[in-house]
Amino acid sequence: MRHRFSFLRISLATLSIFAFTFATSHAEHEDKIQILLLGDSSTAAGMPKVVAPKELRFEDVIRLLLAAEADLPPTNVINLGLSGEFIRGLIDSGRYEAKVSKLPGLDYIFIRYGLNDDSKRENFEANFPKDYHELLAKLRTDHPQAMLIPMTVIPFADEKTSTKINNLIRAVASEEKLTLFDIYPLYAVALKRGPDMLNYRAYPLSKIPDNLRSIAQRYVNAEADPKVVVLDNRLDAIFGHLPGWFRDRHPNIAGYNVIATETAKFLAPVIRERRAKK
């Protein structure tokens, strides 16, 4: 199946607004468990929504997997992930107050930050935990009934950087006495089936050899810096030899399905346990 992206002019920021509007405008809060996803681009799932708009969205897969458990009530999954976001940015930009603070009836809030914090937050190792504690305090105040669930980052950065980030997240979760959802090793196991099977390819058109541009052109998006974008390995045989072809580690649909599956596995027994205590 051929995909032509040249007509698409949807920025990730616009896409995030659209995703939020879609989720909240269709949310039915009565008799449904409300689940919120907070995080960066690895939560937002922006590129698959642009490239394959007819495919199930990341948040919908979580909802449907939970619905497959016959003893669980229906859920509504709201994805407020945003490409490039870090905790300080979420708070200081006003996005937390505008988009997160007033959402009604939240039951579970998954929090997955750290990758952008590491690159954007000065004095990261000291300030990231402080920012995380601040966000958790805000969430507790605004959503006192919600279970707060810190998550480790996926294997996106190198192992040393990932370990540094995840150790800080584990420490925050321990200090806050919160249950940690450790997605990192689960995603890493899935990657062993193929190191590039869970990430899409996004490669600058300017780096494609001139004699191959006719093949690449039909897969180019319309951003200011045009890239060849595919969600799978269909062009690996043609362009896989180019330096950096596999560099982008953002999840593709298969990657998000791994995260969605593990999220549902994590959450289903938690929901049962909390319901049993009521």
Instruction: For the chain, state the CA radius of gyration.
Output: 19
**Domains of the chain and any CATH numbers:** 12-195+252-277 (3.40.50.1110), 200-248 (no CATH)
**Which H/E stretch holds residue 147?**
strand 147-150
Among candidates 243, 204, 240, 207, which has minimal Cα distance to 223? 204
Confidence of residue 258 (pLDDT cuts 50, 70, 90): very high
What one-character DSSP code corresponds to residue 73?
P
Average model confidence (pLDDT) for the chain? 91
Task: Yes or no: say if 112 and 39 are a contact pair by the CB < 8 Å rule.
Answer: yes
pTM over 0.85: yes
Q: Six-digit token pair at 170?
A: 């584990």
Q: Which amino acid is located at 60 in the chain?
A: D
**Which long-range CB contacts under 8 A does 229-238 form with residues at least 24 apart?**
229/5, 229/47, 229/51, 229/200, 229/201, 229/202, 229/203, 230/3, 230/51, 230/200, 230/201, 231/47, 231/48, 231/51, 231/52, 231/200, 231/201, 232/200, 233/196, 233/197, 235/201, 236/196, 236/201, 238/212
Evaluate whether 258 touches 198 at the Cβ level (below 8 Å).
yes
Residue 221 banded pLDDT, cuts 50, 70, 90: confident
- Return d(Cα 147, Cα 190) in angstroms, integer: 27
pLDDT at 126 over 70: yes
Q: How many Å apart are CA 176 and CA 171, to the nearest integer? A: 9
Of 94, 99, 223, 87, which Cα lies nearest the Cα of 165?
Answer: 87
Banded pLDDT at 29 (limits 50, 70, 90): low
User: 3-class SS at 230?
Assistant: strand
Determine the Cα–Cα distance for residues 188 and 120; give it in Å rounded to an integer: 25
Q: Which pLDDT band, with edges at 50, 70 and 90, does 8 fall under?
A: very low
pLDDT (0 to 100) of residue 30: 63
Give the bridge partners for 147, in sequence order: 108
Mean local confidence (pLDDT), 107-132: 98
Distance CA 69, CA 88 (A): 37
